[in-house]
Chain A
Amino acid sequence: MIQAEELTKEYRHLTAVKQLSFTAEAGRVTGFLGPNGAGKTTTISMVLGLAEPDGGQALVAGQPYRRLDNPATAVGAVLDGGAFHDGRPARASLRASCAAAGLPASRADDVLGTVGLGDAPDRRVGKYSLGMRQRLSLAQALLGDPGVLILDEPANGLDPEGIVWLRQMLRRLAHEEGKTVFVSSHILAEVQATVDTAVVIAEGQLVSEFEVGELAGGRTVIARAKQADRLAEAVERGGGKAVRSGEELSITGLDSDRVGEIALEAGVALSALGAQHQDLEQRYMELTAGKGR
């Protein structure tokens, strides 16, 4: 599990992250979303002990990262499109991490095979394509078979086949092996297909935390009526939520059949009634509108 509690990071003229709190649960894929400059990478850096918070704390498996006994066996991280020296062979890069974590050197070959790089282990990382570097990063993250995986834009550079492979692997690791998977990404369609919970931040602050599965069943009902005010009041009394724009109401919390019944009971004539699916992209755009830095 990852817990961020009132995390704050300030630079000279900028508060990059401000009192950010969220939880990424074990057995679930948690998406970490936000516009450019929202503070995602800074937050991940603080979670991984690479940056010191100015306030609050981040706990991984119940402890601050720097206090973990052998971090590689607790947390695997994919950051920055692969943090490897271009001149070093991939296998040697992983073997160095194996040595530091007290893992057998053969583990490097195991994970290279897992990510599909088993046929190019001694090629220098500089000769790898972006997609291969991403796979190598994932191999590095999997070395210690950690319970927590933190991935910053892991789909960058992957081809469509690689993206499907990544999605399936992340979901398997979370749902079948019970790992905590925390992934930041800009590819919202991919996030929707992969994650269970979304944590959305903007300007360094939490904007929303919600279940992505609810979006699939979640609809917005659009109703049009000359007496929109009266209909809005009736909808609110009926347990829904209505946002008015002229004669049009966007209603959530009720389905279109129930909205039709409420309109009839209230004696409001409808000129239009329909349902609109809400997807992650739409929700994200609503939440972060005008909040990019």
Chain B
Amino acid sequence: MGRQIAAEWIKARSLRSTWVLVGIAVLGMVAQALTGVIGYPGESDRAQTLAVMSGSGLTLVVVTIVGVFLAASEYGSKSIVSTYTVTANRGRVIIAKAVVAVAIAAAIGLLSVPLARLVAVIWFALGGAGHWDAGLGTAAHYGYGTMIAYGGFAVVGVAIGVLSRSIAIGVAVAFVGLFILDALLGSVSFYSEYAFTSAAEALNNPDVHQGGLPRFGSAIALMALYAGLLAAIGVGVERRRDV
């Protein structure tokens, strides 16, 4: 399995598009932090700090696209033929892609809090209103919550990429499915606690308790369940399909 992960990492890092997407994801986090510091004048320092640290919706979209891209670009270029002739076990290939997507997404998530802190420091140094009000424990909570949320969305992106075998279709399906349908369903009271996007929101803002969102632990379980289920479907379907 380690060999396949190494191969998928070489593939991911050797494409410019991967780094462009990572760059956009980081910009998404900067935008989120800026919105946090600028958008909360008059709010409490605590509310402002939590808003600055919360995971970015735009970055969630981008890490999903990273996942779609890692999987689907192989079909568009037909390089999947080389991949499957070298590694005949398709399940291993897909799991390796998911591991690499999670690693990239988690690394982006790891940057989230330090980046938020940096933006806040610059904002306050420039005379912006507010004050940083979060201890190390809260920061760590936000950090790993965001990493899990990004990682879960990246796995779902890989599964959608495998199932769609097309970047364009994969991105469209991911966008409509995750960010429109699931978000709409999330507004229905009995489903809201089980929606995938609700789980992401709970992980991105672990200390902001809103009605209709799952608790932090439940959100992790939901994220793992949805991502694992979709990945399993992707592996099962791909094993039976011709290339």
Q: Which residues of A contact B (CB under 8 A)?
A: 45, 48-52, 65-68, 71-72, 75, 77, 79-80, 83-89, 92-93, 95-97, 99-102, 140
Q: Does B89 touch A at the CB level, under 8 Å?
A: yes
For A50, what are the chain B residues with a Cβ–Cβ distance below 8 Å?
81, 84-85, 242-243
Q: For B15, what are the chain A residues with a Cβ–Cβ distance below 8 Å?
A: 85, 87-88
B79 touches A (CB below 8 Å)? yes
- The minimal Cβ–Cβ distance linking B44 to chain A, given in whole angstroms, is 48
A-B contact pairs, 21 of them (CB 8 A): A49-B84, A49-B85, A50-B81, A51-B242, A52-B240, A83-B79, A85-B74, A85-B79, A87-B16, A92-B10, A95-B10, A96-B8, A97-B7, A99-B7, A99-B10, A100-B3, A100-B7, A100-B83, A100-B86, A101-B3, A101-B86
Flag whether B87 is at the interface (Cβ < 8 A). yes
Complex CA–CA separation, A101 to B17 (angstroms): 25
Chain B residues with CB under 8 Å of chain A are 3-4, 6-8, 10-11, 14-17, 73-74, 77-89, 240, 242-243
A79 to B11, CA, bound (A): 20
Chain A: CB-nearest residue to B4: A100
When C-beta atoms are compared, the residue in chain A nearest to B12 turns out to be: A96
The distance in angstroms between the C-alpha atoms of A66 and B92, with both chains bound, is 12
Would B14 and A100 count as touching, CB distance under 8 A?
A: no
Smallest distance from the beta carbon of B217 to chain A beta carbons, Å? 37
- Docked Cα-Cα span, A97 to B81, in Å, equals 12
Please indicate which of the listed interface residues A100, A102, A140 has the most CB atoms of chain B within 10 Å of its own CB.
Answer: A100
Whether B11 and A96, one on each chain, are in contact in the complex, defined by CB atoms closer than 8 angstroms, is yes
- Using Cβ atoms and an 8 Å threshold, which residues of chain A touch B87? 71, 100-101
Contacts of A95 in B (CB 8 A): 10
Do residues A71 and B85 form an inter-chain contact, with CB atoms below 8 A? yes
Contacts of B86 in A (CB 8 A): 71-72, 97, 100-101
How many Å lie between the Cα of A80 and that of B84 in the bound state? Answer: 14
Q: A49-B88, A83-B78, A100-B83 are in contact. Are A88 and B242 (CB under 8 A)?
A: no
Chain B residues with Cβ under 8 A from A96's Cβ?
7-8, 10-11, 14
Residues of A within 8 A of B85 (CB): 48-50, 71-72, 75, 77, 79
The chain A residue with its CB closest to the CB of B74 is A85
A227-B85 Cα distance, complex, nearest whole Å: 60
Q: A72-B86, A77-B85 are in contact. List 8 more A-B contacts (CB 8 A).
A: A65-B88, A80-B81, A85-B15, A85-B74, A85-B77, A92-B10, A97-B86, A140-B82
Report Cα–Cα, A5/B70, bound state, in Å.
36
Q: Which residue of B lies closest to A9 (CB)?
A: B242
Bound Cα distance from A49 to B84, whole angstroms: 8
CB distance from B8 to the nearest CB of A (A): 8
Cα distance A153–B78 in the bound complex, in angstroms: 16
Q: Which residue of B lies closest to A105 (CB)?
A: B10
Contact among B6, B73, B240, B242 with A85 in the assembled complex (CB-CB below 8 Å): B73
Q: A88-B11, A100-B7, A100-B87 are in contact. Are A93 and B82 (CB under 8 A)?
A: yes
User: In the complex, are the beta carbons of A66 and B10 less than 8 A apart?
Assistant: no
Select the residue from A49, A72, A83, A92 with max chain B CB neighbours within 10 A. A83
A101 CA to B15 CA, complexed, in Å: 21
Q: Are A80 and B4 in contact (CB under 8 A)?
A: no
Closest Cβ of chain B to A68, distance in Å, is 6
Chain B contacts for A86, CB-based, 8 A = 77
